[in-house]
Amino acid sequence: MKTLKDAKVGQTVVVKKLYGDGPVKRRIMDMGITKGVQMHVRKVAPLGDPMELNVRGYELSVRKADAAMIELE
């Protein structure tokens, strides 16, 4: 299973499924990250936390723990 945490800088990826429960999943979905959405990985901090993404025209920061809950196609 490939997650967003495994994505490389410059890659454009598509969300396959979201994991997690309750407030964690809700927070991810509130950022506009849902099944089928395309995301472009702009930058990853030296230790991998956070990741900078472009999603639906917005720039977002996602923590590594949250990125591990986003499965990619």
Q: How many domains does the structure of the chain reveal?
A: 1
- pLDDT digits 0-9 by tens, 6-59: 999 999 999 999 998 889 889 889 989 999 999 999 999 887 688 999 999 999
User: What residue has token string 């900078």?
Assistant: 52
Range of the domain at 38: 4-72
Write down the pLDDT at residue 48. Answer: 66
Write down the pLDDT at residue 35. Answer: 93
CA pseudo-torsion sign 31, 71, 65, 40 = negative
Q: What is the CATH number of the domain that holds 17?
A: 2.30.30.90
pTM: 0.85
